[in-house]
Structure 1
Amino acid sequence: MKVSVSAIGAFALLTPLVSGQTIMDIFNTYSHVGSGKSYTLANITDALKADPAALALVNQGGSTFFAPIDSSYIPAVGGLGAAATPNYLHAALSYHTLLSQLYNPGGSAQAYALLETALKAPISSQYVNLPNGGQKIVALKGQPTKLKYGQPSQAVILETIVASNGIVNVIDQFLLVPPAVSASASTFGATQFVKYLGQANMTSMVDGLSGVTVLVPQDNAFQAIASTLAGYSTQQLQTLLQSHIIKQTVFSTNIVGGAALTTFGGPSVSLSGTGGLTATGDNVTATVVNSDVTVAGGAMHVIDTQIEHLSRRRVLGVS
């Protein structure tokens, strides 16, 4: 039984689910051409059936599953090549699942919603490094509602279907498992940040951090001070980069405006705003150009300039 978003309305999360079909019934119904839909869900259906542990998450009741249509699943998983191991696919299926949380964009009043998935350590510790809880997705309510999940593009919710044991949100992208910071920074074009991590011998350390937020400057921010950085010692470069790593996970949905956030480099920074997010360190304010990027160890925000202690800005010669 399909229920439209408009029909569900504001009471969707407050009333019992009345569909006679389970989540897997819905997947089976729409897994083949001729089901009456413009999409099919055959690949995600087969993947769940091949993974009893992931299937159990879906069947436990009260869950939400983000179901990628076949036209997105096939190129995404095929593009992973040898990386698409059974362990990776289990982690990905877990990342498509919200446990004990019914997310229906038609019934949510939140413009930004931080959603906790079933992808968590230690079961999937190869792919997620959080001190507690599951990996996150940020939902941006709108027409249509979109999902931020650690990639430059955002997944679009095409349709919401209420089942007897949960909710299915049909989406137009396969949700790749959020990678480590260095890989994510590369994906977002911050190649200079990745380069300087390597020069500072910090790549493995930063990729292994748990429960952090990394502020990643765009390439032009580093290029503007490249000649000065060329004279930096390894320790100076480490301090500079550590000043961009906050010792807690902060998404735009849980920002306390103006609150001092401690970095590994010593000076504190603050984050403010939601849609127009900024990061400030010692009277130096950067604009966040890509917010709420989920990474294996927490969150990443791409910023348009360096955030470092004012005394170091004088050393760098940056006004």
Structure 2
Amino acid sequence: MRFPTIILTGLFLATGTGSVHAISIVDALKASSGTSIAQAAIAANPQWAAAGQKTLIVPTDAAINSARTAGYLTQNETGIVFLTTATNHKDVANYKILKAPQTALLFDNYVPQGPPEVHVRSSTQQGLITANVDCDDGFFYVSNIPFETAVVPSRAIVLNPGATSFLALFTKYNLVQTLDSLTGVTIFVPTNAAIAAAQTRLAALTPNQVAYVLASHIVRPTKFSTEMETGSLAALSGVSLPYVVSGESATVGGVAIGALVDVPTSAGSILTVNAVIIPATLPPADSNANAAVTTFGTVAVVGATSATTATSTSASASASTSSSTSASTTATAATTTATATTTATTSSSTPAVSSTSSTARTTDDAKSGAGQIAGSLAGLLAAGAVGLAGVL
């Protein structure tokens, strides 16, 4: 799966002579320009010089400082990736998901047989490997982005634009906290165009039915595109979603996987889809069309909830205590509201699971993800619409 090509500058390949490459990862770091922050961390990380094959990816000083200013990194974080396995950019299986302690990350060399052009992605940014050195003890890379602790899903959705209407639905029904509390899941996020195509259908549903539809887009366990195989996936709603891989394209619940995939989050992974998955069987409509959502599939609703009506002019609602129950209705088939088109999703397989972000960052991220949507959502609610694309 490719994301938009970025103009490549300053990439080089350095190798030595003598004992294979005659340079270690630590020596390569010491010789690298513009990486003084990472160099200062050598003494505190003896594992970088330990025996065995490994991979070290260090952001440039400029990338680290920029991320600290933007709030992606704290002043004590560096966004460095250290792996106890060697990640070879020359592998023919060139599309990889790597696992670091703080996050999963995409590592994709567009030209495995030539001068490398390695694209990378974190929870919040996409960038390039700008320098690489083949070392006796593995591989050393310099990146123009850092790899911060994986952010919560609402934050990742906002920072990877094109699917924010899906988040608007969680905001409307006071489910953002529930979304951000999840771990070990794969979230299939419909694009804004997909939500727009399903607008009439979604508007006819009661809040509990919309929550059921949303829960049908989230499955366990965490999987990235490199780990997906043809089979079935169990959604939080109880729906069984068929997943079909065909070459470099795939569908889930009959819906084509979108262009943006493998975004790591604290919950697991995000893959976009080109249509909304609406199960053939929905739970009975709530008798109170304005009732607060109290169930989200098999997951407890987090935080206080209250009713939010379609004519409300605010995205916020007053708090009331609600108990969470599991009342999902299992469906055996899914229908879609838009014709699916196929796009690339699969490649090499490298297991990866995202780590959970810190409490402080999770709180900030949840506010940021929902907050950036709220202003647009208020306009949608005033118009009586549900997640209209083009407004968000």
TM over 0.5: yes
Letter in 1 for 2:268: G
The whole-number CA distance in structure 1 between the counterparts of 2:67 and 2:334 is 46
Letter in 2 for 1:302: T
User: For residue 130 of structure 1, what is the aligned residue in structure 2?
Assistant: none
User: For residue 110 of structure 1, what is the aligned residue in structure 2?
Assistant: 93
Quote the offset at 1:252 in angstroms: 1.4
User: For residue 263 of structure 1, what is the aligned residue in structure 2?
Assistant: 235
Which of these residues, 77, 84, 88, is aligned with residue 74 of structure 2?
84
Quote the offset at 1:303 in angstroms: 1.4
Q: Does the 8 Å CA contact 2:262/2:269 hold for their aligned counterparts? A: yes
User: For residue 258 of structure 2, what is the aligned residue in structure 1?
Assistant: 288
User: For residue 198 of structure 1, what is the aligned residue in structure 2?
Assistant: 171
TM-score, structure 1 normalization: 0.73
RMSD: 3.2
Which of these residues, 147, 154, 161, is aligned with residue 182 of structure 1?
154
Q: Does the 8 Å CA contact 2:275/2:338 hold for their aligned counterparts? A: no
Q: Does the 8 Å CA contact 2:58/2:143 hold for their aligned counterparts? A: yes
The whole-number CA distance in structure 2 between the counterparts of 1:22 and 1:140 is 23
Q: Does the 8 Å CA contact 1:211/1:248 hold for their aligned counterparts? A: yes
The whole-number CA distance in structure 1 between the counterparts of 2:150 and 2:264 is 6
The whole-number CA distance in structure 2 between the counterparts of 1:74 and 1:138 is 22
Q: Larger Rg: 1 or 2? A: 2
More helix, by proportion? 1
- SS of the equivalent of 2:212 reads helix
The whole-number CA distance in structure 1 between the counterparts of 2:75 and 2:240 is 40
TM-score, structure 2 normalization: 0.60
Quote the offset at 1:6 in angstroms: 8.9
The whole-number CA distance in structure 2 between the counterparts of 1:304 and 1:7 is 44
Q: Does the 8 Å CA contact 1:239/1:265 hold for their aligned counterparts? A: yes
The whole-number CA distance in structure 2 between the counterparts of 1:110 and 1:188 is 25
User: For residue 63 of structure 2, what is the aligned residue in structure 1?
Assistant: 72
User: For residue 11 of structure 1, what is the aligned residue in structure 2?
Assistant: none
Change (3 A) 1:269 1:139: same
**Which runs of no fewer than 5 residues in structure 1 stay unpaired?**
9-15, 32-39, 120-134
The whole-number CA distance in structure 2 between the counterparts of 1:260 and 1:191 is 26
User: For residue 49 of structure 2, what is the aligned residue in structure 1?
Assistant: 59
User: For residue 106 of structure 2, what is the aligned residue in structure 1?
Assistant: 138
Q: Does the 8 Å CA contact 1:292/1:299 hold for their aligned counterparts? A: yes
Letter in 1 for 2:89: P
Quote the offset at 1:314 in angstroms: 10
User: For residue 38 of structure 2, what is the aligned residue in structure 1?
Assistant: 44
User: For residue 27 of structure 2, what is the aligned residue in structure 1?
Assistant: 25
User: For residue 132 of structure 2, what is the aligned residue in structure 1?
Assistant: 160
Quote the offset at 1:21 in angstroms: 4.3
Change (3 A) 1:214 1:274: farther
Quote the offset at 1:66 in angstroms: 0.9
Q: Does the 8 Å CA contact 1:218/1:302 hold for their aligned counterparts? A: yes
Which structure has more relative contact order (CA 8 Å, sep 6+)? It is 2
Quote the offset at 1:183 in angstroms: 0.8
